Chains A and B, each alone.
Chain A
Amino acid sequence: MNLLLVVTAAFLCACGTYLVLSRHLSRVIIGIGLLGHGVNVLLVLSGGDGGRPAFVGGDGGPVADPLPQALVLTAIVITFGVIAFLLALAYRSWRVTGNDEVEDDVEDRRIAREAHQGEPEAST
């Protein structure tokens, strides 16, 4: 197992996770992208050690496992499409709300409002 690639995958996933937890949509999207890259590195790694030639035109010796590479290509294309959609959605969100932040969900807002109403002395 290639330690450098394992560390790379872990680092990318860590950065991605940190960014996804942010409240800014643009950071969340970059985080999703980094997370996707980390996972793709992991997927390449699942084919075993690197260094062997591709399986076309070889001389019959050991070749690199082509399947994880095919899987990664598919995964990259899917990530690409989804991030394009996310960017469009984030742009729409910026257009309708005027900022880049993730809003609280309906339930959070309701609970916050009720908690606020419950203690009128504190607020006035």
Chain B
Amino acid sequence: MTGLVVGPILVPLLGAALAMALGRSRPAQRVVSLVALATSVVLSALLLVRVDDGGIVAVRAGGWPAPIGITLVADRLAAIMLVLATTMLLAVVVYAIGQGGAERDHVGFHTVYLILAAGVAGAFLTGDLFNLFVAFEVMLMASYVLLTLGGRPDQVRSGMTYVVISLLASALFLVALAFVYAATGTLSLADLSTKVAELPAGVRSGLALLLIVVFGIKSAIFPLFFWLPDSYPTAPSPVTAVFAGLLTKVGVYALIRTQTLLFPADTQPGALLLAVASLTMVVGVLGAISQHDVKRILSFHIVSQIGYMVMGLGLFTVAGLAGAVLYIVHHIVVKTSLFLVAGLIEARSGTAELDRLSGLARVEPLLAALFLLPALSLAGIPPFSGFVAKLALLDAGVGAEAWAVVAASLAVSLLTLYSMTKIWANAFWGPPREPESSVVAVGADRRLMAGATAGLVALSLGIAVASGPLYDLAERAATDLVDRRPYIEAVLEP
């Protein structure tokens, strides 16, 4: 039981240490990385089954009782996120091994990658605000290194922006922690959820807004998203795929967790979040339309889609949160596979700029299929996973009579389809063109890269097929989030 909760954090950390010790042998590092991540996937899946059957699991480190000691808590939301995150990290590491490049040329790649995995798992499982901060820092520190791996001038430039913005967000996070502790005398999430309710309304909304700004920067919501489209595209493509699929979603997870658990019902800033969600969707997609590089288009789409997740949160209903959870599930898989496809396009043609691409569909039909399926899913065309997730969100929006945000999300879907069509028409149709130069390192295994991508695309199709049971699971997770009592009881009562 304890092993299931602690495992997803400890196994990658131990793997990281081992990978560092085995620095001289790349094959040994690969084996360590694959085994550690595969073990994490299995442990997370077992944890999800256990949590879904038997309720929330809380583990007290060192046996200290809840508000005093460090608590790890796995509820349905955390377990769902964990399963997806580890699966996606495993797929991307396979892709990275196939690509060579950053993975092959740098001793530290596997070590840092596993530390990132441990940080992400820690952020999902932690039961108190300060350890959330620590897990975020572990994850971000690893991401700084991965983003600048190689040290090219453009990487250093965009890495600097990314690091400074993240540090400012972390400083604000610490300020929020200091305020929360000064006001309540505790940082345990379960303990806070009862104590925050006793605070004066002004203090409470101040804390809520501060936390929204902190996690808003990390999850790139409007107007705090400007760093993302600039910094993500410069990293090696497997790294960009991990960042795009995972990092901002950890921010969204923290936003959902803190806003639903800490602040009592009817005092949450729902209207504000819905307004921010609409603006995030619209501004993100408009940014995407004005771009001419596949990776930059996709980066702006991340911003746009964070809006959908925040929309589900802003409704603060079971249906809304279930929609948000389903959307995150769909988004992590689809976004990662799209970025992996962008990496494959780059590997094939030597560029990801639309003006210099043409006719890929004729030369690389498999690549075209791998792009088309997640692209249609992203735009929300039935019967793909994006359609299911958007339908759940729209249904929730209509149920809560939030017409403005529903209208915005429908319009943004159309614009998303337009920009996906732009990539398709420019890169895949037209006369085939000779590759300019190959950016792929010698010895890259494109079949392994395509295999990893195909695995994720198949997973996204699986999400669409299993959408009924998945929605039920998301609904149960959302019920826990809205009810809050199961979480508090599981943590505070031994």
In the complex, A24→B158 CA distance in Å?
15
Q: Kindly provide the distance from the CB of A2 to the nearest chain B CB, expressed in whole angstroms.
A: 12
Q: Kindly provide the distance from the CB of A37 to the nearest chain B CB, expressed in whole angstroms.
A: 10
In the assembled complex, which residues on chain B have CB atoms less than 8 Å from the CB atom of A40?
174
Q: Is A86 an interface position by the 8 A CB rule?
A: yes
- Among A25, A85, A86, A105, the most chain B Cβ lie within 10 Å of the Cβ of A105
- Among A28, A35, A48, the most chain B Cβ lie within 10 Å of the Cβ of A35
In the complex, A20→B156 CA distance in Å?
17
Partner pick for A89 among B148, B171, B181, CB 8 A cutoff: B148
In the complex, A45→B137 CA distance in Å?
22
- Count A-B pairs with CB separation below 8 Å: 94
Q: A39-B171, A93-B160, A96-B153 are in contact. Are A85 and B141 (CB under 8 A)?
A: yes
Within 8 A of B (CB), among A58-89: 67-68, 71, 74-75, 78, 81-82, 85-86, 89
A25 touches B160 (CB 8 A): yes
In the assembled complex, which residues on chain A have CB atoms less than 8 Å from the CB atom of B157?
93, 97, 102-103, 105
Q: Is A92 an interface position by the 8 A CB rule?
A: yes
Within 8 A of A (CB), among B233-251: none
A20 touches B137 (CB 8 A): no
In the complex, A81→B170 CA distance in Å?
13
Q: Is B164 an interface position by the 8 A CB rule?
A: yes
In the complex, A103→B230 CA distance in Å?
12
Q: A46-B181, A89-B163 are in contact. Are A35 and B168 (CB under 8 A)?
A: yes
In the assembled complex, which residues on chain B have CB atoms less than 8 Å from the CB atom of A102?
157, 160-161
B161 touches A105 (CB 8 A): yes
Q: Is B144 an interface position by the 8 A CB rule?
A: yes
**Per-residue interface assignment for chain A, residues 90 to 105, with 1 indicating a CB less than 8 Å from any chain B CB and 0 otherwise:** 1011001100001101
Q: Is B151 an interface position by the 8 A CB rule?
A: yes
A39 touches B175 (CB 8 A): yes
Within 8 A of A (CB), among B354-393: none
Q: Is A115 an interface position by the 8 A CB rule?
A: no
In the assembled complex, which residues on chain A have CB atoms less than 8 Å from the CB atom of B164?
20, 28, 32, 86
B230 touches A106 (CB 8 A): yes
Q: Is A119 an interface position by the 8 A CB rule?
A: no
B167 touches A85 (CB 8 A): no
Q: Chain B: interface residue count, which band?
A: 20 to 34
Q: Is B134 an interface position by the 8 A CB rule?
A: yes
In the complex, A92→B163 CA distance in Å?
14
B167 touches A46 (CB 8 A): no
Q: Is B177 an interface position by the 8 A CB rule?
A: yes
A81 touches B148 (CB 8 A): no
A17, closest chain B residue (CB): B168
Q: Is A43 an interface position by the 8 A CB rule?
A: yes
B153, closest chain A residue (CB): A96
In the complex, A36→B137 CA distance in Å?
14
In the assembled complex, which residues on chain B have CB atoms less than 8 Å from the CB atom of A89?
144, 148, 156, 159-160, 163
In the complex, A74→B138 CA distance in Å?
12
B230 touches A36 (CB 8 A): no
In the complex, A75→B144 CA distance in Å?
18
Q: Is B418 an interface position by the 8 A CB rule?
A: no
In the assembled complex, which residues on chain B have CB atoms less than 8 Å from the CB atom of A92?
148, 151, 156
- Among B144, B152, B163, B230, the most chain A Cβ lie within 10 Å of the Cβ of B163
B160 touches A90 (CB 8 A): yes
- Among A32, A40, A46, A103, the most chain B Cβ lie within 10 Å of the Cβ of A46
Within 8 A of A (CB), among B128-173: 130, 134, 137, 141, 144-145, 148, 151-154, 156-161, 163-164, 167-168, 170-171
B168 touches A20 (CB 8 A): yes
In the complex, A42→B181 CA distance in Å?
11
Partner pick for B177 among A71, A78, A103, A105, CB 8 A cutoff: A71
Q: Is A121 an interface position by the 8 A CB rule?
A: no
In the assembled complex, which residues on chain A have CB atoms less than 8 Å from the CB atom of B153?
93, 96-97
In the assembled complex, which residues on chain A have CB atoms less than 8 Å from the CB atom of B156?
89, 92-93, 96-97
Question: Can you give 11 A-B contacts (C-beta < 8 A)?
Answer: A28-B164, A39-B171, A40-B174, A42-B175, A74-B134, A82-B144, A85-B145, A89-B160, A93-B153, A93-B160, A107-B230
Binding site for B on A (CB under 8 A): 20, 25, 28, 32, 35-36, 39-40, 42-43, 45-48, 67-68, 71, 74-75, 78, 81-82, 85-86, 89-90, 92-93, 96-97, 102-103, 105-107
The 5 closest A-B pairs by CB, nearest first: A46-B182, A46-B178, A46-B181, A43-B178, A96-B153
